[in-house]
Chain A
Amino acid sequence: MANFILRNAEPKDVSDILRLIKELAKFEEMEEQVVLTEKELLEDGFGDHPFYHCVVAEVPREKQSEEGYTVVGFAMYYFTYDPWIGKLLYLEDFYVMKEFRGYGIGSEILKLLSERAVKTRCSSMHFIVAEWNKPSIEFYKRRGASDLSLEEGWRLFEINKQSLLKMSAK
């Protein structure tokens, strides 16, 4: 069984965080859409006002991945606000390297985030999942997640930078 620890990400982890973000994007065939840099991750996550938080899963050196990595999983989250019930924990990205699956790392990460959500008095945890991602949907449903898009008809919209520029110039 794999030994691993979960800990809060530190500034030195930004290369591994970016690597794992890209690995997850690759799985969704969107790797070229990752334009974030290590510098931005550093400023945005470890400055005066962090825009995100990260926990990482780390294995000891002797258990490192084929390519020599010891940081083998991560979850990126932040706090959002529901005008009916207040603070929520929003799970943005969540990934464990393929060769380290099946050891309960994902479950431990979710358990840690659940504890954190309860400790910070959040009413719920929210996240989005692509409708084709059946394994993830099952993983979350087994832990009590409900599909609000199905139940309540919510759809996610985006106004991109181009349109923001247009509106602000009007």
Chain B
Amino acid sequence: MAHYKLRKAEPEDVTDILRLIKELAKIVEKEDQVMLTEKDLLEDGFGEHPFYHCIVAEVPAEQQKVEGYSVIGFAMYYFTYDPWIGKLLYLEDFFVMKEYRCLGIGSEILKNLSVTALKSGCNSMHFIVAQSNEASINFYKRRGALDLSLAEGWRLFRIDKQCLLNLSAEE
């Protein structure tokens, strides 16, 4: 059985975090859409006001299955606010390298996040999943997740930068 530990990400982890973000994006064939750099991740996650938090899963050197990598999973999250119930923990990205699946690392990460959510006074954890991603949907449903889009009809919208610029310049 693999030994691993979960810990809070540190500034030195930004290279691994970016690598794992890109690996996850590659799965959905969107690797070229990852614009973020290590410098952005460093400033945004480890500056005075962190815009995100990360936990990483790390294996000891002798357990490495893929040469050179000991950080083999991560979860990126931050706190959001629901005007009806208050603080929420929002799970933004969550990934374990293929070679390390089915060892319970994902479950441990989710448990760790649940503890963090409760300790920080959060009432729920929210996240989005692509409706085509049945494996993830089932993973979450097994742990009690409810599809709010199905139950309550919520749709996610975006106003991109160009439109923001247009709107802010309007007379």
**A contact residues vs B (CB 8 Å cutoff):** 21, 24-25, 30, 33-36, 40, 44, 51-52, 76, 78-87, 90, 92-93, 110-111, 114-115, 117-118, 122-132, 137, 140, 143-150, 152-168, 170
Given contacts A83-B92, A86-B36, is CB(A127)–CB(B154) below 8 Å? no
Contact at B157–A128, with CB atoms within 8 Å?
Answer: yes
List chain B residues, Cβ under 8 A from A51. Answer: 79-81, 86-87
Contact at B145–A158, with CB atoms within 8 Å?
Answer: yes
**B contact residues vs A (CB 8 Å cutoff):** 21, 24-25, 30, 33-36, 40, 44, 51-52, 76, 78-87, 90, 92-93, 110-111, 114-115, 117-118, 122-132, 137, 140, 143-150, 152-168, 170
Query: Looking across the interface, which residue of chain A has its beta carbon closest to that of B161?
Result: A123
A–B Cβ pairs within 8 angstroms, 13 of them: A86-B36, A122-B161, A126-B157, A129-B157, A130-B152, A140-B159, A144-B159, A144-B167, A156-B156, A157-B129, A157-B145, A157-B149, A159-B124
Candidate in B124, B131, B159, B161 with the most chain A CB atoms within 10 angstroms: B159
Contact at B157–A148, with CB atoms within 8 Å?
Answer: yes
CA distance A35 to B87 in the complex (A): 12
CA distance A21 to B110 in the complex (A): 31
List chain B residues, Cβ under 8 A from A79. Answer: 51
Contact at B144–A162, with CB atoms within 8 Å?
Answer: yes
**Known pairs A153-B131, A159-B145, A165-B114. 5 more at Cβ < 8 A?**
A21-B83, A85-B36, A128-B154, A149-B156, A159-B146
Contact at B131–A155, with CB atoms within 8 Å?
Answer: yes
Write the nearest CB–CB distance from A129 to chain B, whole angstroms: 6
List chain A residues, Cβ under 8 A from B111. Answer: 167-168, 170
List chain A residues, Cβ under 8 A from B80. Answer: 51, 78, 80, 90, 92
Contact at B158–A145, with CB atoms within 8 Å?
Answer: yes
Select which of A92, A147, A153, A168 is within 8 A of B114 by beta carbon: A168
* A-B pairs with beta carbons under 8 A, tally: 237
Candidate in A93, A114, A155 with the most chain B CB atoms within 10 angstroms: A155
List chain A residues, Cβ under 8 A from B158. Answer: 124-126, 145-146, 148
Contact at A93–B83, with CB atoms within 8 Å?
Answer: yes
Contact at B145–A155, with CB atoms within 8 Å?
Answer: no
Select which of B132, B150, B153 is within 8 A of A130 by beta carbon: B153
CA distance A165 to B116 in the complex (A): 11
CA distance A91 to B78 in the complex (A): 15
Query: Looking across the interface, which residue of chain A has its beta carbon closest to that of B126?
Result: A158
CA distance A157 to B144 in the complex (A): 10
Given contacts A36-B84, A78-B81, is CB(A147)–CB(B118) below 8 Å? no
Contact at B124–A160, with CB atoms within 8 Å?
Answer: yes
Write the nearest CB–CB distance from A119 to chain B, whole angstroms: 9
Candidate in A25, A149, A164 with the most chain B CB atoms within 10 angstroms: A164
Contact at B159–A147, with CB atoms within 8 Å?
Answer: no
CA distance A23 to B140 in the complex (A): 33
Contact at B25–A155, with CB atoms within 8 Å?
Answer: no
List chain A residues, Cβ under 8 A from B78. Answer: 80-81
